[in-house]
Amino acid sequence: MTEDSAPDERVLVHKAWRQLAKRAEVEDESSLPGGARNAEWHQVRIAAKRARYAGEAAVAFARQMEKVTEILGEHQDAADAGAAIRELATSADARASFSLGVLCAAERER
């Protein structure tokens, strides 16, 4: 599945919610608790579980994406620091250039 074809978690949650709402529609008094057959309410319960699971999956996905963006942000910060260090090293004396080279190498290792 490509990124473009992957379903958005909001769509999955919305779909599960619509299915729950459809199953829980009250058309007449026989559909109300006590008047409905147990099997009907069991189907509503199953739809509610699916909606809950879709919501939990969306939350878990968001937490994972938060970790990914933090890692990518750290990488970008290190790349920017390395570029700045290399730029400084071009105009520094030999001793400072060596120190900046060591610092640049340390940034790459992170």
Q: Please state, in angstroms and rounded to a whole number, the distance separating the CA atoms of residues 7 and 1.
A: 10
Tens digits of per-residue pLDDT, 48-62?
888 888 888 888 888
**Cα 13 from Cα 2, distance rounded (Å):** 20
From CA 5, how far away is CA 80, in angstroms rounded?
33
The pLDDT, as a whole number, for residue 45 is: 82
Residues of the chain with pLDDT below 70 are: 1-7, 9, 23-38, 110
Write down the pLDDT at residue 110.
67
